[in-house]
Amino acid sequence: MNPEEFRHQLLQHNIEVTDAQMQQFATYYEFLVETNEHVNLTTIVDRDEVYLKHFYDSITPAFYDESLRNDELTLCDVGAGAGFPSIPLKILFPNLKVTIVDSLNKRINFLRELVEKLGLEGVQLHHARAEEFGGKKSAYRESFDVATARAVARMSVLAEFCLPMVKIGGKMIALKASQAENEIADATDAIRTLGGKIISDDEFNLPVSHDPRHIVILDKVKKTPKAYPRKAGTPNKKPIGSKDK
């Protein structure tokens, strides 16, 4: 997917990308590849692949949740890595107030410089573990309208990372590849325990490559119990509802 195809495909979803935004994506790509030579940010460096599997893929939540396009929302991106999905969303939808949480400082340093290069406002960066950032003593607990995560962990673990950060009435949006149905089934207990409710699971294929994708949206319907999230590392080792808990 070259840059013009990227622009055309988004227009099919009623998302118009301005020339200035196209330049921001070009700058993003160039800086990503340049930095990736000495900091491990992505295994995908081919331009057309980046536009498809990073930029376009990151924007797909807005195909299924129009509030991302128009509403003044606070969005927390958990484990954003090189800025996906929140930075592509922020480029297109300046109405979003973005907070990025990542456990590796080298990624945060990259993102800090990227945000400056792109001239983005309303972006906060935090070097922290998700379990700490949404913990019971954190000022950020249950404070966001939306929490997003892409390629971070399986659904039962992801729910424990993200739902504690979301306010009641807010939502969690997970960008998943294949096997989302199985992950959701395994995460039913975790989602309910953490105060969430599954609203939708939209399945589609990326253009060009036809790779399978899912956008899974959860509503936050009640407070997350103070026991969650558990200490760093525990959600991955013993997901809520697992037999070895």
- Alpha carbon 8 to its chain centroid, in Å, reads 23
To the question of whether residue 79 is assigned a binding role by annotation, the answer is: yes
Give the integer Cα–Cα distance in Å for 242 and 129: 22
To the question of whether residue 192 is assigned a binding role by annotation, the answer is: no
To the question of whether residue 84 is assigned a binding role by annotation, the answer is: yes
- Kindly report whether the peptide bond that precedes residue 88 is cis, defined as omega within 30 degrees of 0: no
Residue 88 is encoded by which pair of tokens?
A: 């592509």
User: What is the four-CA torsion angle of 167, 175, 83, 211, rounded to 10 degrees?
Assistant: -170
- How is 159-220 classified by DSSP, letter by letter? HHHHGGGEEEEEEEEEEE-TTHHHHHHHTHHHHHHTTEEEEEEEEEE-TTT--EEEEEEEEE
- Cβ(83)–Cβ(59) below 8 Å: no
- Cβ(136)–Cβ(231) below 8 Å: no
Give the integer Cα–Cα distance in Å for 17 and 10: 8
> How far, in Å, are 15, 21, 29, 73, 149 from residue 119 at the CA level?
21, 11, 15, 19, 23
Binding-site residue ranges for S-adenosyl-L-methionine: 79, 84, 130-131, 150
Binding-site residue ranges: 79, 84, 130-131, 150
